[in-house]
Chain A
Amino acid sequence: MSEIKFTKLLEAFDRVAETAARRSAQTIGRRSALSAIGKLLVGGAILPVLPFDRSGSARADTAHGAGEADCEYWRYCALDGFLCSCCGGSISACPPGTEPSKVTWVGTCHNPQDGKDYLISYNDCCGKTTCGRCLCNGNVGERPGYRMGIHNDINWCMANTQSMYHCTVSVIVGVAEGK
């Protein structure tokens, strides 16, 4: 599926990040390159997009070779927020000291490895200050708040006792049927 998953805004950011990443990757390796990207994300053009509901059926459009700290990783096809993989957690684990959001949403992502579509639950992790690293942004299928279930400019930690937003995980909850 060739739909644009990331906005032009993120592409513009990527161009800046890519240059910096390439430069540092040549000299100090990939881990440091990712760190440089993280810094750019914190200090640069971050989208005012909160990490919330994105049901619908967006698919990852690249994903080949992308790692869990890359927005292009297939499970993040409908994720909009800071990756918990960059914040002390993992793709399916909230960082220590946080708790998963009570309200969640399910997107459908295409795994290029086996060609299947998976249902992905995007739980926010709540209760610590905003992570601020590895922001990913997808708006495919997103709608304004009159379709609250697929709206992403609002805090989905809102139903938790500790409602501070920290980051978002991407948990496989099933295989999409008929896809």
Chain B
Amino acid sequence: MVNRLGLALTFLALGTASGLADDLKVETPRVATLSPTMQRVYVADAALPHMVDGRIYLLDGADMSLKGMFEAGFAGMMLAAPDKHRLYVATTFYERLTRGKRSDVIQVFDDQSLKVVDEIPLPSRRAQALSYRSLFQSSSDGKLLLLQNATPATSVMAVDPSSKRQLEIASPGCYGIYPAMTRALRFATLCGDGTAGTITIAANLKSSERKTGAKVFDPDGDPLFIHAERDGDTYVFLSFKGKLVRMSVEGETAAVTETLDMAAGTSDWAPGGYQPFAVDAKAGVAYVLMHSGASNGSHKNPSAEIWAYDLRNKRLAARSPVTGLTSLTLAASDPTTLFAINLVDSKIVRLGIDSQTRGIKPTGEIKLGETAALIEAPR
């Protein structure tokens, strides 16, 4: 039967070939390939209305076209490692799609073929949370993956992707992972009492030490978003009321080295979103999603404007009216390009930055996604 069908299809194909228009020719199906130099944009979408089907979209930032997808399961989180040509996706699968035994894994994708090339089993304690950058990180030397757990008691899983060895590091009351830049085995985490824990992992991955310093933020009066941006060997954090807080996590305890009040004198405006800002470390500029009418509970509101704040001269450089954005990232390969998630209109947008004025304008978009939260443009 199958042979007969195959034969029939062959005849059909030959028959059709003879009647082709001049500018058409017989084709065979093929698989598209990715340009190795493509401006990659990754978008993590939890697909909330059908959560078992989370996905990560791969876009070409040059024309904002969709180039492929990675499966992200239930509440999956992504971490791109472009130097290794890998995309790591930590996620949950259930034996019967929505029920049955829970399996948590890190799926290791090849970033050219988009296929799973390895899988690292995890204990079922990872945070089934929206994909925030600070919940899935790698150590600064790229050798360890650091993943947030929550049961809801919190801990961090340090994973060696080569050997698949793991160490669970208790971090009760703390959340978020901020790897030290000069100490590959060290990371910091924000804690609910306003301190930051600093964890140093033993080289043999068998133990860790934790130290806690003085308070670094006010979780009641002006909490910090858990998204943070790297700037040299420091992190820049952002508070709900619009303070940019520079923190060093290199030492045995974390320390705030600078606080800049970006929204001073504009009390009605505040940052908002899931990934509410990006920093151009080379130029020393922070780009922040801002909304007016700020109030208790508005910290995830979409943007009305993007503010460009000059971190070196400590002044607001530009305010650009760009609405509906909830997540923002700077292209690693081009400091004049931002990519963002517009949740209001369910689209992904590209934005151009005027390097003189720091004004920002949309330059491209694609209608895509349902509940996307994290966007990265790592190369």
Contact = CB atoms under 8 A, between A and B. Distances in A.
Interface of A: 3-5, 7-9, 12-13, 41-42, 44-50, 58, 103, 127-130, 132, 135, 138-148, 151, 153-156, 158-159, 162-165
B366 to A, nearest CB: 16
Given A147-B219, A148-B154, A132 B299 contact: no
Given A7-B300, A42-B49, A148 B152 contact: yes
Contact of B48 (A46, A138, A143, A156): A46
Contacts of A135: 48
Given A3-B297, A164-B52, A45 B129 contact: no
Contact of B298 (A7, A103, A147): A7
Contact of A148 (B75, B98, B128, B150): B150
B291 interface: yes
Given A48-B130, A48-B373, A159-B151, A12 B324 contact: yes
A3 B296 contact: yes
B176 A144 contact: yes
A143 B152 contact: no
Interface in B173-200: 173-176, 189-192
A130 to B, nearest CB: 4
B152 A48 contact: no
Given A9-B326, A154-B129, A155-B75, A4 B293 contact: yes
Contacts, number: 160
Contact of B219 (A103, A132, A143): A143
B49 A132 contact: yes
A147 B346 contact: no
A144 B190 contact: yes
A140 B297 CA distance: 4
Given A5-B297, A142-B300, A146-B176, 13 more contacts: A3-B296, A3-B297, A8-B298, A9-B326, A9-B344, A129-B97, A135-B48, A145-B129, A146-B173, A146-B174, A146-B189, A147-B219, A164-B51
B371 interface: yes
Contacts of A44: 346
A114 B301 CA distance: 32
A48 B46 CA distance: 7
Contact of B291 (A8, A129, A140): A8
B297 A129 contact: no
Contacts of B25: none
Contacts of B102: 163
